[in-house]
């Protein structure tokens, strides 16, 4: 912990008490001014974004590892992410300093302020990371147990491998889209239980999955596994992920190689990456693991974080959204360090910008489930919304918003929103 985490730290920029982005957060994203201009790397504070390319040009980062690297003029965070932990920490510490109440560098420089401090209403956020490879895990015991119970009954809910390794699959990176991108209902093959033959048509069991995504900063070389205790050194930060799923397509296609088209049409990511540095005060232990994992998966330290998560739903008929589930990142049985150690134990190389999603995060209670499949128990127990409408799966016009935040003393570290609206099939 350092002075960037001090809960008494205040900025000369006014930040509302409930803001996701106090001076202790310092998230990273990419945007361009609505009135026109290049994409730049930015941070957020309160209702403002700070253009780091302009700060760099003004010499704010002189004497640091990133000086002269021109990484903030890039249209993605990848170049910055590839520089490693020391560069990320230096950058965070300088931004924290120049946004602090008593620091005049930017506060009293009207010319620089005019081009570098922009209202969030005057910019368009863009996809922050060029995602090279996308891996989706299945690391919530509660989620795996719920899904297994529905498909195989309570006695065979967890497959024999589940408690020994973080189960995952290689997903599709090309359809990772920015929060706000419309989600078009996919078409595909399904085989309803009532039919002897498969049918082709619109997905009728469209679902969301509440997940957190780990964004890889510096990668590893092919043939050099990442030890579990070094794994976090490779993590730039976390974002909210909605891993949209076509459940009826999944049920028909997934044997024997796992999900394919049921998962490849869209995965939404929130625009701000929250760094591990910002999350440090919220570090916590993971659920106890029994049986004990193999040595290559055994942690010495805590690698989980106390991040509260919410799913909001708004239908076409509703004027405002309602919360349909609340859960927490810290329910994850397999943590990010174990996921990275497992992913690379074969020598597989992770690269800058790779996305490792946690898998759907469900908690122990009925109101802490991370997918509609579980919330409405496979369609058998539709939920009733405040206006009387019922939902078993998503309908056209439904808007799903994921939120995440850590509660600090007098401030919160928020993740912003990850939003998607369902549009009719093409």
Closest to 20 (Cα-Cα) out of 376, 211, 272: 272
The token duo for 331 is: 């329910």
Q: Which residue is nearest to Mn ion (CB)?
A: 243
The token duo for 408 is: 């600090």
Q: Tell which positions 242-261 bind Mn ion, by CB under 5 A.
A: 243
Site for Mn ion contains 136 (CB under 5 A): yes
**Is the Cβ of residue 51 or residue 243 nearer to Mn ion in the bound state?**
243
Q: Tell which positions 397-426 bind Mn ion, by CB under 5 A.
A: none
Compute the least distance from the CB of residue 246 to Mn ion, in Å. 12
**Is the Cβ of residue 30 or residue 336 nearer to Mn ion in the bound state?**
336
Backbone φ and ψ for 192, nearest 5 degrees, come out as -60, 150
Compute the least distance from the CB of residue 379 to Mn ion, in Å. 19
**Is the Cβ of residue 56 or residue 136 nearer to Mn ion in the bound state?**
136
Compute the least distance from the CB of residue 220 to Mn ion, in Å. 24
**Is the Cβ of residue 40 or residue 343 nearer to Mn ion in the bound state?**
343
Compute the least distance from the CB of residue 334 to Mn ion, in Å. 14
Compute the least distance from the CB of residue 98 to Mn ion, in Å. 39
The token duo for 230 is: 């070094």
Compute the least distance from the CB of residue 90 to Mn ion, in Å. 34
**Is the Cβ of residue 107 or residue 172 nearer to Mn ion in the bound state?**
172
Return the HEC string of the chain.
Answer: CCHHHCCCCCECCCCCCCCCCCCCCCCEEEEEECCCCCCEEEEEECCEEEEHHHHHHCCCCCCCCCCCCCHHHCCCCHHHHCCCHHHHHHHHHHHHHHHECCCHHHHCCHHHHHHHEEEHHHEEEECCCCCCCEEEECCCHHHHHHHHHHHHCHHHCCCCCCCCCCCEEECCCCCEEECCCCEECCEEEECCCCCCCCEEEECCCEECEEEEEEEECCCCCCCCCCCHHHHHHHEEEEEEEECCEEHHHHHHHCCCCCCCCCCCCCEEECCCEEEHHHHHHHEECCCCCCCCCCHHHCCCCCCEECCEEEEEEECCCCCCCEEEEEEEHHHCCCCHHHHHHHHHCCCCCCCCCCEEECCCCCCCCHHHCCEHHHHCHHHCCCEECCCCCEECCCCCCCEEEEEEEEECCCCEEEEEEEEEEEECCC
Compute the least distance from the CB of residue 237 to Mn ion, in Å. 19
The set of catalytic residues is: 143
**Is the Cβ of residue 72 or residue 244 nearer to Mn ion in the bound state?**
244
Binding-site string for Mn ion from residue 91 to residue 130, where x marks contact by CB under 5 A and - marks none: ----------------------------------------
**Is the Cβ of residue 220 or residue 362 nearer to Mn ion in the bound state?**
362
Compute the least distance from the CB of residue 28 to Mn ion, in Å. 24
* Residues facing 34 on adjacent strands: none
Contact predicate 81/129, CB 8 Å? yes
Q: Tell which positions 302-331 bind Mn ion, by CB under 5 A.
A: none
Q: Tell which positions 198-227 bind Mn ion, by CB under 5 A.
A: 209
How many residues interact with Mn ion (rule CB under 5 A)? Answer: 3
**Is the Cβ of residue 356 or residue 413 nearer to Mn ion in the bound state?**
356
Give the interface with Mn ion as residue ranges (CB under 5 A): 136, 209, 243
């Amino acid at each position: 912990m350092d002075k960037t985490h001090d809960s008494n730290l205040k900025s000369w920029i006014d930040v509302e008490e409930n803001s996701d982005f106090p001076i202790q957060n310092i998230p990273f994203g990419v945007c361009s001014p609505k009135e026109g201009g290049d994409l730049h790397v930015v941070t957020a504070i309160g209702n403002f974004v700070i253009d780091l390319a302009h700060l760099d040009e003004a010499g704010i980062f002189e004497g640091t590892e990133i000086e002269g690297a021109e990484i903030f003029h890039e249209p993605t965070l990848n170049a910055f992410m590839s520089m490693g932990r020391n560069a990320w920490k230096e950058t965070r510490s300088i931004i924290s300093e120049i946004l602090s109440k008593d620091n005049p560098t930017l506060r009293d420089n009207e010319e620089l302020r005019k081009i570098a401090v922009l209202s969030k209403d005057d910019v368009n956020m863009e996809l922050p990371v060029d995602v090279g490879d996308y891996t989706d895990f299945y690391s919530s015991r509660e989620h795996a147990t719920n899904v297994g119970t529905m498909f195989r009954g309570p006695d065979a809910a967890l497959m024999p491998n589940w408690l020994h390794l973080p189960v995952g699959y290689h997903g599709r990176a090309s359809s990772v889209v920015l929060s706000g991108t419309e989600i078009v209902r996919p078409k595909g093959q399904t085989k309803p239980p009532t039919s002897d033959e498969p049918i082709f048509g619109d997905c009728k069991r469209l679902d969301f999955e509440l997940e957190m995504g780990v964004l890889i900063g510096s990668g590893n070389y092919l043939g050099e596994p990442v030890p579990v205790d070094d794994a976090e050194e490779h993590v730039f930060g976390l974002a909210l992920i909605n891993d949209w799923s076509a459940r009826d397509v999944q049920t028909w296609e997934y044997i024997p190689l796992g999900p394919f088209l049921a998962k490849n049409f869209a995965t939404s990511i929130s625009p701000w990456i929250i760094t591990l540095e910002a999350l440090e005060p919220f570090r916590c232990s993971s659920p106890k693991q029994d049986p004990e994992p193999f040595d290559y998966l055994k942690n010495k330290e805590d690698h989980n974080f106390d991040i509260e998560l919410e799913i909001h739903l708004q239908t076409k008929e509703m004027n405002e959204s309602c919360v349909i589930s609340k859960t927490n990142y810290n329910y994850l049985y397999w943590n990010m360090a174990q996921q990275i150690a497992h992913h690379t134990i074969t020598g597989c190389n992770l690269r800058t910008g790779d996305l490792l999603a946690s898998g759907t995060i469900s908690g122990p209670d009925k109101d802490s489930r991370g997918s509609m499949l579980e919330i409405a128990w496979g369609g058998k127990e539709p939920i009733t919304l405040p206006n009387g409408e019922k939902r078993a799966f998503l309908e056209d016009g439904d808007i799903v918003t994921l939120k995440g935040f850590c509660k600090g003393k007098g401030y919160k570290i928020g993740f912003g929103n990850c939003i998607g609206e369902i549009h009719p099939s093409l």
